[in-house]
Amino acid sequence: MPDHLPYAPGSIRTLPSWLLGRAAARGHRLVADALAAEGLRMMHHAVLSAVAELGPVSQAELGRTLGIDPKDMVAVVGDLQQEELVTRTPDPGDRRKNAVAISAAGKRRLRRTQRLGDEANAELTASLTPREREQLIALLTKIASPGE
């Protein structure tokens, strides 16, 4: 997909919703391609990042925190465990639940994917000045989380 905007009627191409959608699609593509170089999909990266940040955490809590369906969470954690990026052990507080923790290999992979994601986001915002990047993040945060 080219980086230029596809044709849209003038009455549409200046709408914030249309422009945000185009920018999001480009950002998603750049980050997804960068993560693919490390063999990760975006959802896997998000889960690995959350596990690293939250420490040992139940799959259910991960799903609620990230807004991922429990069945999808089981599959993603299973994929990460198969690659030895996370461990899944019975939760000491409730043996019916699994506690997910990041492994040493997961920490190494996460450092690489975070760097690749940062590079992709830098490419996404390359035409902006540092001040404009700060403004963009502030404005998008207001749009994404009104009232916070």
* Beta bridge mates, 87: 101
pLDDT at 91: 78
The CATH number covering residue 127 comes to 1.10.10.10
Write out pLDDT tens, residues 52-109: 999 899 888 999 999 999 999 999 999 999 999 999 988 777 778 889 999 999 999 9
pLDDT at 19: 92
Our count of domains for the chain comes to 1
Contact 73, 63 (CB under 8 A): yes
- What average pLDDT does the segment 17-43 reach? 95
Write out pLDDT tens, residues 101-132: 999 999 999 999 999 999 999 999 999 999 99
* Cα-based distances in Å from 6 to 21, 99, 121: 12, 45, 21
Residue 74 lies in a domain: yes
Residue 62 lies in a domain: yes
Q: Does the structure show a pLDDT above 50 at 141?
A: yes
Residue 6 lies in a domain: no
Residue 28 lies in a domain: yes
pTM higher than 0.75? yes
Structural domain for 35, as ranges = 13-141
Residue 80 lies in a domain: yes
Residue 148 lies in a domain: no
- What average pLDDT does the segment 38-51 reach? 95
Residue 4 lies in a domain: no
